[in-house]
């Protein structure tokens, strides 16, 4: 069914379209859901239909702050977080046992919410809060769409997969990893990317950030450890920075806790290379322009980062967060490396020399860099939010 066919079918109800969204805890679960809400609202508005959204999450998660800022109705349910461990005995920890006792209460609350709201469809983007809401959708016979941002299904989405009407995944490589019983309900949508990320302009980054000392004949490397920065990435980048600045301009987003130390280090760089280095604690509204300017990105490999890098076609050196749930960042990094879109630095390879070799192999060869651009774009799905909206509308009651 095409998007136009869906639009004609959905235009029939004559009332607001009702959507329950559940998931959160982190930006990786929250922002794809928010982007999908905005895309769905825009699609329905073209048909003269309103969108009535209720987000069910946790009071302490990122989703609570995001929904307040966006004016989205929000409710909470009791949740039980399972603290993972390779040791089965540790799974029976007092904290896990206490939280497991909250699951029945959360399930009852979720069932009451779904029954009262009567959604046309329920969207789960993962996180432990999604489990009781997803099961309530199944119990109340409401269509359930789960969306997975990473290569492998997260714990919550694994629990809900068999109850889902559709399983939306971000990568073709996820399909063989799905249980046989749910593979027929799977669809590849990609991971929704904020539309503003796709509209950056390199010259605006130069002007807006005052990068007057940058040499535009050299490539630009953007280093980021996420909003809070990464001590690990800052350390290895700092060790190779004098060499790196002979090869490229560098924009380094280091996080608030490292900014003073980084500025002191920058002040001691030789005069001939210091103007090609900008260090900042945080990159906010300038991010689309910074990404547009960047020829190579050094970063973590969270699901949102991977979605943005591939949608934009950016070569990257990926340093996975070792403590990510189910080692998902390593799986993401290896996925891009196997496709020829990135270089993954894992575990013991995360050293100054390892980083220097990885970056040098990209910077020294424009041909390799262009190949990585093409391979990254081949993986990217900048229309992921539209694809996920199609899935929501196609299963709606």
More confident residue, 51 or 11: 51
Quote the pLDDT of residue 178. Answer: 94
Domains of the chain: 3-192+382-395 (3.40.50.2000), 196-379 (3.40.50.2000)
Half-sphere exposure of 261 (CA within 13 A, CB side): 10
More confident residue, 41 or 28: 41
Half-sphere exposure of 241 (CA within 13 A, CB side): 27
For residues 232 and 239, the answer to whether their CB atoms sit within 8 Å is: no
Quote the pLDDT of residue 326. Answer: 75
Decide if pLDDT at 374 tops 60. Answer: yes
Length of the chain, please? 397
For residues 362 and 341, the answer to whether their CB atoms sit within 8 Å is: no
C-alpha distances out from residue 177 to 152, 200, 321, 325, Å: 7, 35, 22, 17
Stretch 282-288: mean pLDDT: 94
* Distance, CA of 210 to CA of 328 (rounded, Å): 37
Q: What b/e string do you get for 303-334 counting C-beta neighbours within 10 Å, with b at 16 or more?
A: bbbbbbbbbbbbbbbbbbbeebeeebbbbbbb
Sheet holding 316-318, edge to edge: 277-280, 249-253, 220-224, 296-299, 316-318, 342-344
* Distance, CA of 79 to CA of 77 (rounded, Å): 6
What's the pLDDT band for 228 if we cut at 50, 70, 90? confident
> The whole model's pTM is what?
0.88
What's the pLDDT band for 104 if we cut at 50, 70, 90? confident
Half-sphere exposure of 322 (CA within 13 A, CB side): 10
C-alpha distances out from residue 105 to 101, 161, 321, 380, Å: 8, 22, 34, 40
What's the pLDDT band for 26 if we cut at 50, 70, 90? confident
pLDDT digits 0-9 by tens, 182-224: 999 999 999 999 999 999 999 999 999 999 999 999 999 999 9
What's the pLDDT band for 93 if we cut at 50, 70, 90? low
SS (H, E, C) the chain: CCHHHHHHHHCCCCCCEEEEEECCCCHHHHHHHHHHHHHHHHHHHHCCCCEEEEEEECCCCHHHHHHHHHCCEEEECCCCCCCCCCCHHHHCCHHHHHHHCCHHHHHHHHHHHHHHHCCCEEEECCCCCHHHHHHHHHHCCCCEEEEECCCCCCHHHHHHHHHCCEEEECCHHHHHHCCHHHHCCEEECCCCCCHHHHHCCHHHHHHHCCCCCCCCCCCEEEEECCCCCCHHHHHHHHHHHHHHHHHCEEEEECCHHHHHHHHHHHHCCCCCCHHHEEEECCCCCCHHHHHHHCCEEEECCCHHHHHHHHHHCCCEEECCCCCCHHHHHHHHHHHHHHCCCEEECCHHHCCHHHHHHHHHHHHCCHHHHHHHHHHHHHHCCCCHHHHHHHHHHHHCC
pLDDT digits 0-9 by tens, 160-183: 999 999 999 999 999 999 999 999
pLDDT digits 0-9 by tens, 306-356: 999 999 999 999 999 988 877 889 999 999 999 999 999 999 999 999 999
Mean pLDDT rounded to a whole number for the chain: 92
Decide if pLDDT at 27 tops 50. Answer: yes
Pick from 126, 144, 127: which is nearest to 135 by CA? 144
Decide if pLDDT at 91 tops 60. Answer: no
Quote the pLDDT of residue 5. Answer: 63
């Amino acid at each position: 069914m095409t998007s136009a066919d869906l639009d004609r079918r959905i235009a029939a109800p004559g009332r607001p379209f009702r959507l329950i969204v559940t998931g959160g805890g982190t930006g990786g679960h929250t922002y794809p859901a928010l982007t999908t809400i905005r895309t769905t609202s825009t699609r329905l508005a073209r048909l003269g239909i309103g969108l009535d959204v209720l987000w069910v999450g946790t009071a302490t998660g990122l989703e609570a702050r995001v929904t307040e800022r966006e004016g989205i109705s929000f409710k909470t349910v009791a949740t039980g977080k399972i603290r993972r461990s390779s040791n089965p005995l540790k799974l029976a920890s007092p904290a896990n046992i206490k939280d497991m006792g909250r699951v029945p209460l959360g399930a009852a609350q979720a069932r009451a919410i779904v029954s009262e709201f009567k959604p046309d469809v329920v969207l789960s983007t993962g996180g432990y809060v999604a489990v009781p809401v997803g099961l309530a959708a199944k119990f109340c016979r409401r269509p359930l769409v789960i969306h997975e941002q990473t290569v492998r299904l997260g714990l919550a989405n694994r629990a809900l997969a068999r109850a889902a009407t559709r399983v939306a995944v971000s990568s073709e490589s996820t399909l063989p990893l799905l249980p046989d019983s749910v593979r027929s309900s799977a669809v590849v949508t990609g991971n929704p990317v904020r539309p503003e990320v796709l509209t950056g302009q390199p010259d605006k980054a130069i002007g807006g950030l005052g990068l007057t000392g940058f040499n535009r004949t050299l490539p630009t490397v953007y280093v980021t450890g996420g909003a809070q920065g990464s001590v690990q990435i800052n350390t290895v980048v700092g060790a190779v920075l004098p060499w790196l600045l002979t090869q490229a301009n560098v924009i380094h987003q280091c996080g608030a806790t490292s900014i003073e130390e980084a500025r002191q280090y920058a002040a001691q760089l030789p005069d001939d290379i210091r103007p090609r280095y900008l260090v900042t604690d945080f990159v906010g509204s300038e991010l689309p322009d910074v990404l547009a300017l960047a020829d190579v990105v050094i970063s973590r490999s969270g699901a949102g980062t991977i979605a943005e890098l591939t949608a934009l076609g950016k070569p990257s050196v990926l340093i996975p967060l070792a403590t990510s749930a189910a080692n998902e960042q390593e799986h993401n990094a290896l996925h891009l490396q196997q496709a020829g879109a990135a270089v993954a630095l894992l575990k013991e390879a995360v050293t100054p020399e390892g980083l220097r070799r990885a970056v040098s192999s990209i910077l020294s060869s424009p041909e390799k860099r262009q190949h990585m651009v093409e391979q990254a774009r081949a993986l990217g799905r900048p229309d992921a939010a539209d694809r996920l909206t199609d899935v929501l509308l196609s299963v709606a009651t």
